[in-house]
Amino acid sequence: MRLVSVSPQRPADVVLDVRATEAGEAFRVVEKARVAGRSWARGPAADRAAGLTAMAEAVAGNRRELAGLVVREVGKPIGEALGEVDRTVAILRYYAQQCFDPYGETYPGAGGLSFTVHRPRGVAALITPWNFPLAIPVWKAAPALAFGNAVVIKPSPDATACALRLAELFAPLLPAGLCTVLPGLGETGAALVDSADLVSFTGSGEVGRQVAVAAAARGIPAQCEMGGLSASIVLPDADLDRAAGHIAAAAMGFAGQKCTATKRVLVVGDAAPFEEALLARIGGLGFGDPAEEGVAVGPVISEAARRRVLDAADGSGGRVHTAGKPPGEGWFAAPTVVAGLAPDAPLNTEEVFGPICTLTSVSDVDSAVRLANATSYGLVTALYTNDLAAAMSYVDECASGMVKVNAPTSGVDFHLPFGGEKDSGYGGREQGKAALRFYTSPRTVQLA
């Protein structure tokens, strides 16, 4: 079976046409990785740090080329694509230093010594999405490698060219078989879950639940990040212009194709002034060819994704505001705000991965928080207010893995734990110091 990746802004441009990896081949790659991982884990931390540092330098040295490939394959605007390359470099450098971090604890004993150490789990299967085609594979692979594991990456079919280019850059810098990218479809991913020692997944809720169940059946750790329907709450005393700028970018940047994108805006009190400010800010976002400087909203990833956005707006029953005219070629959907919907309307309860959000007026903050929590998702909540005490009083009420105050829902700091509650996440947090707990297993040692 062939795997074909095309450019969403120019669908006639075939970026990659490659054979999909069969299940049997995936099993063999995992076994090879397991052998390579044993030597890697036994080696000194300095060797692992040097390998990750060299990987960072390889990415930095190909910055423009990699950003151009991201633009071409997934339609990410060039400014964001360059930022993603820089972030990928920073992630690798961060985890290169974590190779030297102390880990483990000592405990009081009756005349002896009791302590814990952490050992790598083995081969990490990393199943990654298309929307961050460099950063997400690396923010999973870097800690896995830093802590002594081998990795096998199965990228989204829509971002396989980006992942394969990373593999080409990394191959001369690491032992053979330690870090492998497998082009593939669902069969390939299932084979990795059936053979690896742990699995980290980012993607849809439907597939993430399948991954979690399959991993549990084998008794291996699984970590699944499965999207969001994040809300931004605007309190009456908020700086409206600042909030509007943040929310416009968080909802529509990269055509709203981020799990942390703002999908629901809840305004406490009269929403009319904020609605006007938000629409003005959205109208000022560049919309068009993602290769052009100043463009913030490019295409969505596929024709099916475009149709979902258009159908959601057309069938919403609310007041629909669109900004900009889509170019004639490619899978473009204009930035869209839908106002006046009921709390249980589909757009307020189901994720549409595109440049569309809802705007709702609520009577008080308690009602806003209740509505923000009233979905099966729980990734990010943003609160906009000039009253810090009020904001902190609501932080504990937000049923989400992350809460931001006067900051956009989108954007993730790689040194902080990342993950969601409810249907947004399963199996623990990613990134930062939390990564050690997933990619290693603690061992208790007692000396009498």
Which tens digits make up the pLDDT trace of 21-78?
999 999 999 999 999 999 999 999 999 999 999 999 999 999 999 999 999 999 999 9
> Quick one: pLDDT band at residue 327, thresholds 50, 70, 90?
confident
Residue showing tokens 């204009």: 334
Mean per-residue pLDDT for 8-13?
98
> Which residue type occupies 155?
P
Chain-centroid distance, C-alpha 109: 43
Query: What domains are there in the chain, each with its CATH number?
Result: 2-226+424-447 (3.40.605.10), 230-405 (3.40.309.10)
Distance CA 405, CA 435 (A): 25
Distance CA 153, CA 105 (A): 32
pLDDT of residue 205: 94
Tokens encoding 107:
């405990």
Lowest mean pLDDT among 140-149, 176-185, 388-397: 388-397
Pairing of strands 198-202, 123-128: parallel
Tokens encoding 313:
């707006």
Instruction: Please identify every residue annotated as catalytic.
Output: 225, 259
Tokens encoding 295:
């463009």
Residue pair 239/384 in contact (Cβ under 8 Å)? The answer is: yes
Q: Say if residue 1's pLDDT is above 90.
A: no
Distance CA 417, CA 412 (A): 9
Mean per-residue pLDDT for 390-408?
95
pLDDT of residue 324: 86
Q: Where are the beta strands (DSSP E) in 96-229?
A: 106-107, 113-120, 123-128, 150-155, 179-181, 198-202, 222-225
Q: Say if residue 110's pLDDT is above 80.
A: no
Neighbours of 217 (CB within 10 A): 10
The percent of residues above 70 in pLDDT, for the chain, comes to 100
Distance CA 208, CA 201 (A): 7
3-state secondary structure of 380: strand
Residue pair 295/288 in contact (Cβ under 8 Å)? The answer is: yes
Residue pair 221/426 in contact (Cβ under 8 Å)? The answer is: no
Q: Give the tens place of pLDDT for each residue, 349-361.
A: 999 999 999 999 9
Residue pair 257/405 in contact (Cβ under 8 Å)? The answer is: no
Distance CA 401, CA 409 (A): 11
Residue pair 85/169 in contact (Cβ under 8 Å)? The answer is: no
- Torsion angle (degrees, nearest 10) of CA 200, 203, 204, 209: 0
Phi first, then psi: what are they for 63, rounded to 5°?
A: -60, -55
> Quick one: pLDDT band at residue 111, thresholds 50, 70, 90?
confident
- Rg of the Cα atoms in the chain: 22
More confident residue, 10 or 327: 10
Phi first, then psi: what are they for 96, rounded to 5°?
A: -60, -40
